[in-house]
Amino acid sequence: MSKEIEAIKDPGLPAHVHRKADTDPAAANRAERQVATLFGISALGTVLLIVSYIFVPDDLFIFIPVMGNQNAHQLGLGLGMAISLFFIGMGAIHWAKTLMPDTEVVAQRHEFRSPDSDRKEFVEAVKSGASASGLGRRSLIKRSLGAALGLSALSPLLLLRDLGPLPGKELEKTTWKSGTYLVTDPGNRRIKASDLEVGAVAQVLPEIADPEHRKLSDIAKDAVLLIRLRPQEFNLEADKLAMTHDGIIAFSKICSHMGCAVALYEQQTKHLLCPCHQSTFDVTRAAKVIFGPSARPLPQLDITIDNEGYLVARQPFSEPVGPSFWERNSQ
C-alpha cells in the first residue's frame, strides 16, 4: 500500500513555454496587427450603430435568411453595439495574451489575522466615532432612533398580511345558480339547444345583469365548455346522463389539476386536452381522466332547457371547480 503511494512522485510545475511573439519580432508585429484589426472591427461596429440610428428608417424591414423579416433599424443598432463592445474586449484579451509580459509571478497569501497595529487602529476609530456621535449623552436621539428602527421592522411584517386572508368559501362558489342562462363568451347571447350542431362546441358563461363589468376573478371560475355529441355516443352513469340535454354536455373549463383553461376538444376522439400539462379527459365518460397529472374529472354542469328552448343551468356545480386547495373537501 505505502509502496504504491510512494510510486507517484510530485511532477512539479511544467516548464515555461515561450510564445512565438516573445522570440520572433515578425510574430510580435503580426500579433500587433491582429489586435489593431480587432479594435478596428469594433470601430466599424460603432459606425454601423450611428449610421443605423441616423439613416435607416425605423419602419424598414429586410429579409434575412433563417431569421426572416427583420426591422433593419433595430437590427443595425443591436448588431452595431454588440460588435463595438465585443471586439474591444476581444482585442484587449488578445493583446494581453500575445504581447504583454508572460512572466509567471508567485504571490504568497498573507495571514488571515490582521496585524496588531491595524486592529488597535480600528478599535480606536470605533471609540472616537462613538464619542463624537454623543449617543451616550444625547438620549433623545438615541431613543427616537431606536423607535424609528424598531418601527421600520414592522413594515415587512405588515406586508405579510397580503398572504391572506384565507379564501373561506370563495373558491367553492361560482356564479352558476339554479336557472342561470348559458350565454356565449364573448357576445353574451343566450343559446338555444338547437343552435348547436353535432360536433359543435361553445365557450359559455353564466348570464349576469351587467355583462360589461364581469369580473375576471369570476370568469376564472365560471367558464364552461359546451359540447354536442350524438346522444348514443355517451357512456355515462344515469345521474350524469340526466345532467346532459339531447347530446349537449357542459363541463367546467378550469382544469382540475392547475386551473388552466381546458378547451382543446378533439372532435373525432371526443377527448378534451389541457394545454398546460397534457391532462386528457374523455368527454363520453363524463370527463374521466385518461392521461396526465389531473386527479379528478372536470366538474359537470347540470343543464336543461327552458320553455323557449334556451339552455339553462338546472343546478349550480355540485363540487368546487378548478384545482385542489387546502380547505377543499376532496371526497
49 torsion bin: left (phi>0), alpha (psi -120 to 50), beta (else): alpha
- Burial state string for 255-271 with b = 16 or more CB within 10 A and e = fewer than 16: bbbebbbbbebeeeebb
Structural contact between residues 194 and 156, judged by C-beta atoms closer than 8 angstroms: no
Could you give the angle at which helices 72-98 and 25-55 cross, rounded to 10 degrees? 160
Binding another protein by CB under 8 A: which of 227, 243, 249, 303?
227
Closer residue to another protein in complex, CB, 200/236: 200
Site string for another protein, 130-169 (x = CB under 8 A): ----------------------------------------
Please report how close the Cβ of residue 309 comes to another protein at its closest, in angstroms.
Answer: 12
CA pair distance 262, 254, nearest whole angstrom: 6
Q: Name which position in 44, 53, 97, 242 contacts another protein (CB under 8 A).
A: 97
Sole window of 19-27, 115-123, 155-163, 299-307 interacting with another protein (rule: CB under 8 A): 19-27
Q: Is 258 in the site for another protein (CB under 8 A)?
A: no
* CA dist., res. 55 & res. 50, Å (int): 8
Q: Cα(193)–Cα(132) distance, rounded to whole angstroms?
A: 86
Rounded distance between C-alpha atoms, residue 331 and residue 319, angstroms: 10
The yes or no reply on residue 289 touching another protein (CB under 8 A) is no
Eight-class DSSP state of 227 = E
Q: Which of 280, 287, 321, 322 binds another protein (CB under 8 A)?
A: 280
Q: Is 208 in the site for another protein (CB under 8 A)?
A: no
Residue 265 binds to another protein (criterion: CB under 8 A): yes
Exactly one of 2, 232, 268, 329 binds another protein (CB under 8 A); which one? 268
Q: Which residues bind another protein (CB under 8 A)?
A: 17, 19-21, 61, 67-71, 74-75, 78, 93, 97-98, 102, 184-187, 189, 191-192, 195-203, 227, 261, 263-269, 271, 273, 275, 278, 280, 291
